[in-house]
Amino acid sequence: MNVHAPITLTVAEQALLNAFDAAAGELPGDAAVISARDRLLHAVRVEGLPTRRVEAWHYTDLRALLRSVPAADPAASAKVVAPLVEGAHVLSILDGKASTKGAPKGVSVASYGAALTAGTSAADLAERGADDAIGRLNGAFVKDGLAITVGSDADLSSPIEIQVAQSRGQSHVRLPVTVEEGVTATLIERHISTDDAPSLVTAVTDLTVGKGADVTYVIVQQQGETDSHLGQIRFTIGQEAKLTLFVINAGGKLVRQEIHGVVTGEGSNLTLRAVNLMGGETHTDVTFTMGHDVPNTTSTEIIRNVLFDRARGVFQGQIRVAPDAQKTDAKMACNTLLLSDDADLSAKPELEIFADDVQCGHGATVADIDPTQFYYLQARGIPAPKARALLIKAFVAEIVEELDDEPLVEALESVIEAWLDKHSI
Amino acid sequence: MLEIKNLHAKIADTETEIIRGLNLTVKAGEVAAIMGPNGSGKSTLSYILSGREDYEVTDGDILYNGESILELDPAERAAKGIFLAFQYPVEIPGVATMQFLKVAMNEQRKARGEDELTTPDFMRRVKDAAGKLQIDPAMLKRPLNVGFSGGEKKRAEILQMALLEPKLCVLDETDSGLDIDALKIVADGVNALRSPDRATIVITHYQRLLDYIVPDTVHVLYKGQVIKSGDKTLAHELEANGYADVIGAAA
């Protein structure tokens, strides 16, 4: 028999258990949901948060890095802010409480809290595996969220912005999003902080891209300097469908954004682009796994990291090609601009290929600003600090500009500029 | 306008001296051609004039309008009116050409205490100058020099020169990689900028460019020194006889 000695809980772990006890009465769900929550939290109680000994968390020792967890705060007072793209349809989740108002025609929006109460969502709460700490925490605590279905009659001349605004305390939200067959849609999942107090947000998104659909899904994380953000998006892409997933991390003290995708339909394509802006004493992790499970699918992944100060960054990217997924074409690149000797980036690309007729590749670069480009700009009269700022912005703007949507490109560039203005060197 | 006195310079992190006692004077209004075989120090001289950090001046001085510029960084030199048209213009992905032009023009204006250009004024200037150089406006929306052909890159350099209105223009091998039509367009662009208060240094291997940009003076650079100076007929002599005679006579 295998008996584990009970672990000594950290301050953060104890705070999580306390928060669960405090909230237990008000967490929505039928018996199946309640038992799923208990099981998930039990795992936290017994195993604690993952440490570097758990492979998926090797570079982000959550147990050591998550120093404290703020209790739910009745003074929480997040309000909706203007959307990133003018004219976007805003669906809001304020301090964890979702509103179903604001959906454009043809888009159905339902409260996830209501789904939990009705007991139709217990199965969603299952963790992805023993190392799924984000799924575990979110599943145990999730109270609300938005279930969004974009139908074929949707009027999407403007994007949908799902605005998750947190002032303080903690929130755990779920976003099941389905884009139906043949629909072209742009959705922006935006995480913002509305005050300086520390917060913990976990967010799990389940995105289903229907057959022939063309979806641009943007995750913009702009949490505050004292906030912890644990995000996870799981997606499937149907036959002949296209998903452009764009992630910008421009905030937070401790951030992990997981991206877990499976292409399930032939002829489908994933374009993943991520911009990670890191400064101060922060830790930002983007972990990506991708399964090419059927033949004739393509994916390209480009990750651009900019690090200042004593920031630590992590990129883990794993592409799996199933034995019968012939003609898979996958290319992954992780490029880093390291602007401080005290900053640090760990990149771990992995390819697991079980088919023999595929094209897969990966590459990682780490560099400072290119001295020739820097000299060229200066030789045209652009002073050194400005030349440097231009080149840093250019390094990330290059992938933003690939998006074929001018208002969206401008909105994302303004997020990047605002961040860089605060972190100039 | 420009006075180079007994200049010695080396590559910063080595001991290799490339410029070895170079003397050269270029007056306002003058077009001076600098010719010389490979490895004579022509490109190095252009980099040193522009203030590139990779080179270190170990002796001598460079006076521009009577003042030493050795302590100025490249941006300060540019704002004072020194312009280098690069032999290999640098590609900068993520910076649109228009955006780059606007920043460069306005930063130089700021450095000189002038007002920034209004957007309509800026657009008008770019449109005029681009038209003269037969530059497709679509090219200006693309990232700077990225995917430009050799000829487009050189034209883009001359466009920058026209817009920045420098006082001392240094053209480093501007003819390399150009076909004859592109060469004429570029030469016309340079000639249009000739004026009594502007000096131009044309660095070239071949006499060909000098048929279109006719120099007032020609200087032969060899092993980091000017070994012979003359008028435009010197360029023809070099074309006919090669560098060997001149080098032999100087040795």
Tell me the pLDDT tens digit for each residue of A16-34: 999 999 987 889 999 999 9
Separation in Å, CA of B21 to nearest CA in chain A? 25
Q: Do A384 and B73 touch (CB under 8 A)?
A: yes
According to the model, what pLDDT value does residue B186 have?
87
Residue B65 has pLDDT above 70, yes or no: yes
pLDDT per residue as tens digits for the range B79-114 = 999 999 999 999 999 999 999 999 999 999 999 999
Query: Do A204 and A175 meet the contact criterion of CB atoms below 8 Å apart?
Result: yes
CB A378 within 8 A of CB B74: yes
User: Is the model's pLDDT at A1 over the cut of 70?
Assistant: no
Whether residue A396 and residue B50 make contact (CB cut-off 8 A), yes or no, is no
Any chain A CB within 8 A of the CB of B141? no
The partner residues of B9 in beta bridges, in order of sequence, read B19, B57
Q: pTM for the whole thing?
A: 0.88
The structure tokens listed for A313 are 């960054």
pLDDT at A5: 66
Distance CA(B24)–CA(A213), nearest Å, equals 68
Q: Is A259 found in the same domain as A375? A: no
Q: Is B92 in contact with A377 (Cβ distance < 8 A)? A: yes
Nearest residue, CB atoms, A378 vs list B54, B73, B89: B73
User: Is residue A416 one of the residues assigned to a domain?
Assistant: yes
pLDDT score recorded for residue A421: 87
Three-class secondary structure assignment of A358-421: CEEEEEEEEECCCHHHHHHHHHCCCCHHHHHHHHHHHHHHHHHCCCCCHHHHHHHHHHHHHHHH
Element at A39 (helix H, strand E) = helix A31-47
Q: How far is CA B23 from the centre of its chain?
A: 18
pLDDT of residue A287: 98
Tens digits of residue pLDDT in B164-180: 999 999 999 988 888 88
Residue in chain B lying closest to A399 (CA): B94
What is the pLDDT at residue A114?
94
Best mutation site among A382, A396, A406, A412 for testing chain B: the one with the most B CBs within 10 Å? A382
Instruction: Please check whether residue A297 lies inside any domain of the structure.
Output: no
**CA-based nearest distance A376→chain B, Å:** 7
**Domain range spanning residue A97?**
11-265
**pLDDT tens-digit readout, A327-373:** 999 999 999 999 999 999 999 999 999 999 999 999 999 999 999 99
B236 pLDDT higher than 60: yes
The per-residue pLDDT for B87 is 92
Beta strand pairing call for B143-144 and B92-96 = antiparallel
Q: Determine the pLDDT at residue A123.
A: 81
**B10: closest CA of chain A, how far (Å):** 18
| Structure letter (DSSP) for residue B72 | S
**Residue A134 · residue A204 · CB < 8 Å:** yes
* A409 in a structural domain: yes
How many folded domains does chain A comprise? Answer: 2
The answer to whether residue A183 sits within a structural domain is yes
Is A306 among the domain residues?
no
Residues A374 and A261 in one domain: no
Mean pLDDT for the stretch of residues B133-161:
93
A49 falls within a domain: yes
B92–A contact, CB cutoff 8 A: yes
> Would you say residue B248 has pLDDT above 90?
no
Residue among A306, A337, A378 with most chain B CBs within 10 A, to mutate = A378
- Annotate B79-100 with b (16+ C-beta within 10 A) or e (fewer): bbbbbbbbbebbbbbbbbbbbb
Q: Residues of chain A whose C-beta is under 8 A from some C-beta in B? A: 371-373, 375-384, 386-387, 390-391, 393-398, 401
Last residue of a domain, one of A208, A236, A265: A265
Do A57 and A180 lie in one domain? The reply is yes
Closest partner CB to B104 (pick from A381, A395, A401) = A381
What's residue B250's pLDDT?
A: 76
What is the pLDDT averaged over residues A52-58? 96
Does residue A4 surpass a pLDDT of 90?
no
Check CB contact of B73 with chain A, cutoff 8 Å: yes
Q: What's the whole-number average pLDDT of chain A?
A: 94
Residues A88-132: pLDDT tens digits?
999 999 999 999 999 999 999 999 999 999 888 888 899 999 999
For residues B7-27, give the mean pLDDT: 94
The answer, yes or no, to whether residue A387 has pLDDT greater than 60, is yes
Taking the C-alpha atoms of residue A315 and residue A208, their distance in angstroms, rounded to an integer, is: 24
Q: Residue B4 carries which side chain, given as an amino acid letter?
A: I
pLDDT by residue (tens digit) across A59-99? 999 999 999 999 988 888 899 999 999 999 999 999 999 99
In a domain, A299, yes or no: no
A414/A411 Cα distance (integer angstroms): 5
* A2 band by pLDDT with thresholds 50, 70 and 90: low
- Residue A364 domain-assigned? no
**Looking at A265, A284, A301, which one is the last position of a domain?**
A265
**A375–B95 CB contact, under 8 Å:** no
Q: What is the per-residue pLDDT for B223? A: 93
Q: What is the pLDDT of residue B246?
A: 86
Q: What is the reported pLDDT for A425? A: 58
Compare CB distances from B75 to A384, A394, A397 and report the shortest one's residue: A384
Query: In this predicted structure, what is the pLDDT of residue A110?
Result: 96
- At B154 the pLDDT is 92
Give the number of other Cβ atoms within 10 Å of residue A71's Cβ.
Answer: 15
CB contact under 8 A, A398 and B93: yes
pLDDT at position A424: 67
What type of residue sits at position A271?
A: T
Which one of A265, A297, A317 terminates a domain? A265
Query: What confidence score (pLDDT) does residue A307 get?
Result: 97
**Chain A environment of B84 (Cβ under 8 Å):** 379
Q: Which of A380, A386, A398 sits opposite B78 (nearest CB)?
A: A380
Residues A251 and A376 grouped into a single domain:
no
Cβ contacts of B147 within 8 Å, gap of 6 or more: none
CA distance A135 to A253: 20
- Cα–Cα distance for residue pair A100/A111, rounded to 1 Å: 6
Q: Do A379 and B104 touch (CB under 8 A)?
A: no
pLDDT digits (tens, 9 = 90+) for A231-283: 999 999 999 999 999 999 999 999 999 999 999 999 999 999 999 999 999 99
Contact criterion met (CB below 8 Å) for B186 and B161: no
Residues 6+ apart with CB under 8 A from A39: none
